[in-house]
Amino acid sequence: MAVDLLLGLQWGDEGKGKIVDVLTSKYNIIARFQGGPNAGHTLVFNGMKHVLHTIPSGIFHKNATNLVGNGVVIDPVVFKDELDKLSTHGIDYKKTLLISRKAHLILPTHRLLDAASEASKGKAKIGSTLKGIGPTYMDKTGRNGIRVGDLELENWKDKYRKLANKHQAMIDFYNVDLQYNLEALEAKFFEAVKTLTSLRFIDSEEYLHSAQKAQKSVLAEGAQGSLLDIDFGTYPFVTSSNTTAAGACTGLGVAPNTIKEVFGIFKAYTTRVGSGPFPTELFDVNGETMARVGHEFGATTGRPRRCGWLDLVALRYACQVNGVTQLMMMKADVLSGFKTLKICTSYIYKGKEINHLPYNIEAENLKPVYTEFMGWSEDLTKMENASTLPETLMTYISFLEKELQIPIKIVSVGPDRKQTIFR
């Protein structure tokens, strides 16, 4: 049986959590393949809002198995908080949640190193979520990391101490003003590790292989977005994992030729949280309206998200890198009431018009060229059927489909599970 992928095509926060939850009833297994608690995936149903950071977004469905794959980095402290919240909602996660032995652990000193690195960069900081993501993936590729499976070994604390000591020396080297109490952080960490070890650790690549052979269906859930990919994103203002389709192969151990649908998810406009280039960013009342109506605040850090028009050049690039087969357009409701809308259809780069994302996309090199569209004023949030969508919205959708040559299969018109229109 094939694996389907769902991933973000912009700078994250496209609405991945919502759609994974909506699609979960069609799958046996939901598997996160990269990232960690830098992610914040929001689900809204029955009048409640839930934010997941490391746990896959299928967790509220009894019949689905949720797997945290080898490509994910886990902070036991954040993980425990997530589990505690699930318990208050009566979710019996012990039955449905599995963790790859090969997933790496975020240590308290990884978080401190993240903070020290950012502080040392001053104005050039990445705008990291300070969850320790960069330093943990550095230890993974540097072959020094501690993995979930190590927690089953007797001497894992020796390994921990050696690595934490090294981190302390590195933190000192940064020579920045960082206030912390490592003893208190470690006490919390070791307590949370106890909770983590009460869950089922598995050899997940083997598990997925057997599941596929047994005709089980798998939906791989991405975190972040394609423009935050360590290779293909706006480096160095990116995260430290491959957020694009290839990341699902390395982050789960599924073979590329078993991947079927690639669901690419994007907002009807664009947002970005943290530093880095953003060609279509708005600094006017239009941007403010998107932020206000769309409640554009980070689900993990609460930081305001920067807002701008939809960037078709960047979207096309993301579709190519991922091999997107179906598109999902989110937050169409947020654009209701704009008299006119703009889509960036090319860039002026060093005086020439281009249709691709160049190496340098800083504002001084690149100016967006826009195509204007008529807006719509109808309230979309109660619409349930594609046939009721306003004509001007349909023109906006058809234009994107024609340009990208990929169908937009879902139009999302509100945060709730039910505010999802299938086409």
Q: What residues make contact with ligand IMO under the rule CB under 6 A?
A: 8, 11-13, 35, 38-41, 126-129, 131, 133-134, 223-225, 228, 237, 239, 273-274, 299
Instruction: Spell 332-347 as b/e; 16+ CB within 10 A means b.
Output: bbbbbebeebbbbbbb
CB of 389: closest distance to Mg ion in angstroms? 26
Count of other CB atoms within 10 angstroms of residue 371: 13
Q: Which residue has the tokens 């032995």?
A: 101
333 binds, among ligand IMO, Mg ion, ligand GDP, none (CB under 5 to 8 A by kind): ligand GDP
CB of 228: closest distance to ligand IMO in angstroms? 5
99 vs 228, beta carbon nearer ligand IMO = 228
414 binds, among ligand GDP, ligand IMO, Mg ion, none (CB under 5 to 8 A by kind): ligand GDP
Torsion of CA 366, 371, 377, 380, to 10 degrees: -80
- Residue nearest ligand IMO by beta-carbon distance: 274
Tell me the site size for Mg ion, rule CB under 5 A: 3
Contact between 40 and Mg ion (CB under 5 A)?
A: yes
Q: Measured between alpha carbons, how far is 297 from 295 in angstroms, rounded to an integer?
A: 6
Q: Which helix (H) or strand (E) holds 345?
A: strand 340-349
Cβ contacts of residue 20 below 8 Å, gap of 6+?
6, 30, 41, 56, 57, 58, 219, 221
80 binds, among ligand GDP, Mg ion, ligand IMO, none (CB under 5 to 8 A by kind): none
Q: Measured between alpha carbons, how far is 33 from 253 in angstroms, rounded to an integer?
A: 9
Contact between 37 and Mg ion (CB under 5 A)?
A: no
CB of 124: closest distance to ligand IMO in angstroms? 13
Q: Which neighbouring-strand residues pair with 4?
A: 219
139 vs 296, beta carbon nearer ligand GDP = 296
4 vs 13, beta carbon nearer ligand GDP = 13
Cα–Cα distances in Å, from 212 out to 68, 91, 208, 216, 244? 17, 26, 6, 5, 22
77 vs 330, beta carbon nearer ligand GDP = 330
Query: What value, to the nearest 5°, has the Cα angle with vertex 307 and ends 136 and 129?
Result: 15
CB of 314: closest distance to ligand GDP in angstroms? 16
102 vs 267, beta carbon nearer Mg ion = 267
Contact positions toward ligand GDP, by CB under 6 A? 8, 12-18, 39-42, 44, 294-295, 299, 330-331, 333-334, 412-415
260 vs 292, beta carbon nearer ligand GDP = 292
CB of 245: closest distance to ligand IMO in angstroms? 15
Residue 38 near residue 223 (C-beta atoms within 8 A): yes
**Which tokens belong to 251?**
């982050």
State the number of CA atoms in the 13 A half-sphere of 1 facing the CB: 16
331 binds, among Mg ion, ligand IMO, ligand GDP, none (CB under 5 to 8 A by kind): ligand GDP
Helix%, strand%, coil% for the chain, nearest 5: 35, 25, 40
334 binds, among ligand IMO, ligand GDP, Mg ion, none (CB under 5 to 8 A by kind): ligand GDP
Active site members: 13, 41
413 binds, among Mg ion, ligand IMO, ligand GDP, none (CB under 5 to 8 A by kind): ligand GDP
Q: Which residue has the tokens 């004509």?
A: 391
Residue 30 near residue 219 (C-beta atoms within 8 A): yes
Contact between 299 and Mg ion (CB under 5 A)?
A: yes
CB of 39: closest distance to ligand GDP in angstroms? 6
Residue 247 near residue 32 (C-beta atoms within 8 A): no
CB of 157: closest distance to ligand GDP in angstroms? 34
Contact between 73 and Mg ion (CB under 5 A)?
A: no
Interaction site with Mg ion (CB under 5 A): 13, 40, 299
